[in-house]
Amino acid sequence: MNICLVNTDFKLGGQQKIVLNLGKQLSLKENKVSFYSFRPEEPFFNIDELEMKIDKTQDELTLFSKLKRKVLRKTIFSNGKANPVVEFKRRHGRLLNYLKEQKIDLVILSGGFLTTFSQSIKEYIPEIKVIAWQHSTAEVYLENYYSEIKDKYLEGLICSDSVVCLTEADRRAFARYNHNTVSISNSVTMNSKVNSVSSNRNDIVFVSRFDVKSKGIDFLIELVNLLPRDVIVKFAGSGTKKQEKIIKEMIVKNDLNDRIILLGALNENELAELYKNGKIFLSTSRWEGFGLSIVEAMTFGLPVISFDTTGPREIIGDDEFGIVIESFDILKMSEAVKKLLSDDVFYKDLSHLAKKRSKDFTPEIIKGKWESHIQDLFKGG
């Protein structure tokens, strides 16, 4: 089978990592797999020997063209009426031509923006199968991220041969638009047996992109102010220069320079060492479709404390494999951190449960679910 996975880009990020991992797994079973990047940035992660087509159209655009698109979206195409097929006509056309020329049997469109291309792909290549892969919650996609393109987004969900999301709660939500909706969690490929150089068992691990609002980095700042001064947060992640500037200013303003350490973008081995040397993993996100870094941390036995959002709840359960805090109670989260730091028995129990739960997200298990779904898709015609 000839499969193409399309993502907006393959820079550093959880979604990018997940898409690449799935492609690599699917390529192991006599499938020809390729990746398609809608933006011109080079990939951060290793793609092994697989093919990646990178659309360079954005590099060809003038500043005027980019500004014109933004103005149109805010005015004429407001109220959910924006149409990416029209706005990104050249890039959309190049994607269609690539899929047809490469004789792709199955295209997996990642995220809401690319889902809007589903109908046009089906019209241009009637025999192709389209999976719309949703990486965040239905509520966030519909009411926040893609509110400006909501009409085309819903159209894409409806026209796709299937919709894949990450949690059972979101399966029920997306099924309102496409009855062939399934929930398949993300897999974790990180090796938890990596050798550790040293161990500072009071380090709290925080892994996210530099998005203050969605990742709740403002909550993290508040939280650290409530913790003992010997507790250090190791923050792995990156973002735009503007985002980094905002976060650094927040840290300085709260006099936390020596308590929140920004590590920048880490490769897989460096990230594994961070997990290995950590004590607790925190998630302060306002919303989270899944939480790849949560499961990565759990493979190393790090107890997880998270606000009660869709993805983390699916992973952790009702305090079954970690600690879920009512959103967004900073005081209760600080108390949970202090308890884990002071109660060795409680800590060891949660560490054991974290490792146990992480085994449900191995590449073999998740790959099997994807292969089963793809087989069903083609059997159904």
- Triad 280, 283, 285: Cα angle to 5°: 170
Paired with 4 in beta bridges are: 34, 107
| pLDDT string in tens for the chain (381-residue length) | 999 999 999 988 889 999 999 999 999 878 999 999 999 988 988 888 899 999 988 766 566 666 665 666 565 555 667 889 988 999 999 999 999 999 999 999 999 999 999 999 999 999 999 999 999 888 888 888 788 899 999 999 999 999 999 999 999 999 999 999 999 999 998 876 644 434 456 899 999 999 999 999 999 999 999 999 999 999 999 999 999 999 999 999 999 999 999 999 998 899 999 999 999 999 999 999 888 999 999 999 999 999 999 999 999 998 899 999 999 999 999 999 999 999 999 999 999 999 999 999 999 999 999 999 999 999 875
Question: Counting Cβ atoms within 10 Å, is residue 362 exposed (0-12), middle (13-18) or buried (19+)?
Answer: middle
pLDDT value, residue 143 = 84
pLDDT value, residue 198 = 41
User: Distances from the Cα of 372 to the Cαs of 239, 243, 268, in angstroms?
Assistant: 36, 40, 29
Contacts for 248 with CB less than 8 Å, ≥ 6 apart: 262
Among residues 16, 173, 37, the alpha carbon closest in space to that of 94 is found at 37
Tokens matching residue 121: 């792909």
Sorted by where each starts, the structural domains of the chain and their CATH numbers stand as 2-186+362-379 (3.40.50.2000), 203-361 (3.40.50.2000)
pLDDT value, residue 81 = 77
pTM for this predicted structure: 0.85
User: Distances from the Cα of 197 to the Cαs of 94, 268, 273, 345, in angstroms?
Assistant: 48, 15, 8, 25
pLDDT value, residue 196 = 42
